[in-house]
Amino acid sequence: MDLRFMAHDALQNQRDYTSDDLIFLDARYNTRWTGDKAIRQRWRRILKAAGVRYRNPYQTRHTFASSLLMLGANTLYVASQLGHENTAMIERHYSRWITGGLDGNKRAQLLALYSQIDPKRRNEFPVFELSD
């Protein structure tokens, strides 16, 4: 799977806080998580602090896929990033985002949003050429 440099750097930096082969440990005890309850509680607090309505963590996968498609990524590339063997699921569940990627204004808005995250890395996210 491809990662943005910021995501890769964040994962590398997280290793400084671990004493295990795992990247994310329960910070209270520096041990493996024993379940998902504590993770979900933290996730809720993070979303609340960010002013974002609750979504379960799995939804980040959909955000990733729809963002790639709106940027004009090839459906086979998106399918491979999500671990799918073909594009059937992508086309079935994300067709509105595929066509959304053809709207230059939506694409420009999304690229502008990514450049706000870190202006020095505004071109870090892949830019896909839209073909006719």
Q: Does 84 have pLDDT greater than 90?
A: yes
The residue ranking higher by pLDDT, 23 or 46, is 46
Q: Is residue 15 scored above 70 in pLDDT?
A: yes
Position 130 scores a pLDDT of 47
Cβ neighbors of 60 (< 8 A, separation 6 or more) are: none
Mean pLDDT along residues 44-69: 89
Residue 132 burial by CB count (10 A; 0-12/13-18/19+): exposed, middle or buried?
exposed
